[in-house]
Amino acid sequence: MSLRLTGFTRAELTELMVQWGEKPYRAQQVWSWIYAKLAASVEEMTDLSKPFRARLAGEIAPLRPTAISHRISEDGTEKWLLACDDGITMETVFIPDTNRGTVCVSSQAGCSLACPFCRTGTLPMRRNLTAAEIVEQVTFVRASLAARGIRVTNVVLMGMGEPLYNLEAVTRAVSIIMDGNGLAIGCRKLTLSTSGVVNRMEEAGRNLNVNLAISLHSVRDAVRDQLVPINRKFNLAALRKAALAWPLRGRGRVTWEYVLLEGINDSEQDARELVSWLRGIPSKVNLLAFNPWPGAPYTPSPREQMLRFQEIISNSGLVTIIRDSRGADVGAACGQLAGGTDDPPIDRTAPDEPPHDASPSDKTDDLAPYPGDRLAHEESSG
């Protein structure tokens, strides 16, 4: 069976090289080809000896998935449908912004939780993605974009699936993506979003040094039971306790995601209850415009309602932004990922070939983990 190197940590790759009777520095060379120089294949690793390259080529699986479709939105957001070895597809989105570029990766093909406002939730759960498949979404997008001079600075685990239901692979993938000798996405540039899988949050907090986003959507159990069905298992009190126990580093905050649905969770009273529920938790609130999809049983809150909601939160001293929809015209917006069921064939006009000069960068401000954010109010302290 061929080895999928993109699922190896650097320490494991070093061990493998030693097992092969190679010097440990070989691991660093290969690592750097895959993650810093973004080589798509062994043939590109020209400073390795021919016999070593031949052995690598014979034993390892391809380093990249293949793209089945690629769409670019009018606002610059891009969406790829990538094929795994077994024919399963994963969706990956890139969202450019003035001073950052974010890759939104999937952790599962489908999702086993059926949040009724989310299109992914209407799909059958196919399977967990492997660590290699998660990592390759990042290398694929970074290489594609570097060829066009576009940088990837942030990674969010906010694509298809519930990352905490695939915690082992996600933990491994995160350590590979963060490795300073490779992709080097720093902990402040990496965000994991969960619907609130409370019984995995303690372990996640211990093993993952990333920003945490929690999909809240209501602070009333009766409403959240409907919107986020996992609430029936882990209610708001349990979620609050788990959020308080999350290890926030430095000036970190928990990001709460709240999709505004007309007449469901968008009243002024909802906003006031949200403020009091958050009291005592260092928080930032991301208000999401609802992205409709065919057959969705909700409508987006009117703009004025969203602004009123935001004002109440921001007047309480909390940091809050309205996250405008991005990439909706190509089905790439939050909650629109549908496993490519309505995608046209791949657009080959956009180049996907990797260059060799992509270097990670760490210059952007990271207050908001997601692009398109509009900051309403920044706290003066804490």
**Least distance to ligand SAH, CB of residue 119, Å:** 6
Q: Which residues contact 25 (CB under 8 A, 6 or more apart)?
A: none
What is the DSSP-derived secondary structure letter of residue 94? E
Give the binding range for ligand SF4 (CB under 6 A) out of 107-115, 127-135, 170-178, 200-208: 107-115
Give whichever of 81 and 118 is closer to ligand SF4, judged by the CB atom: 118
Q: Is 118 a catalytic residue?
A: no
The catalytic residue among 91, 133, 136, 162 is 91
Tell me whether residue 176 or residue 333 sits nearer to ligand SAH (CB atom): 333
137 scored as a contact of ligand SAH (CB under 6 A): no
Do 216 and 278 meet the contact criterion of CB atoms below 8 Å apart? no
Which residue is closest to ligand SAH by CB? 335
Tell me the CA distances in angstroms from 222 to 117, 204, 217, 231, 297, one per residue in order.
16, 27, 12, 9, 18
In one letter, which amino acid is 358? Answer: A
Distances (CA, A) of 64 to 81, 85, 133, 143, 254: 13, 10, 9, 10, 33
Q: What is the rounded CA–CA span in Å between residue 203 and residue 39?
A: 34
| 212 interacts with, out of ligand SAH, ligand SF4, none, CB within 5 to 8 A per kind | none
| 335 contributes a contact to ligand SAH by CB under 6 A | yes
Cβ closest to ligand SAH, residue 14 vs residue 193: 193
Q: Does residue 115 have an active-site annotation?
A: no
Handedness of CA 176, 180, 182, 183 (dihedral sign): positive
Binding of residue 162 to ligand SF4 (CB under 6 A): yes
Interaction of residue 334 with ligand SAH, rule CB under 6 A = yes
Least distance CB 299 / ligand SAH (angstroms): 11
Nearer to ligand SF4, 30 or 118 (CB): 118
- Using CB atoms within 10 Å of the CB of residue 245, give its burial: 0 to 12 exposed, 13 to 18 middle, 19+ buried: exposed
354 secondary structure, DSSP code: -
Number of residues that bind ligand SAH (CB under 6 A): 15
Interface residues with ligand SF4 (CB under 6 A)? Answer: 111, 113-115, 118, 120-121, 161-162, 195, 215
The residues annotated as belonging to the active site are 91, 334
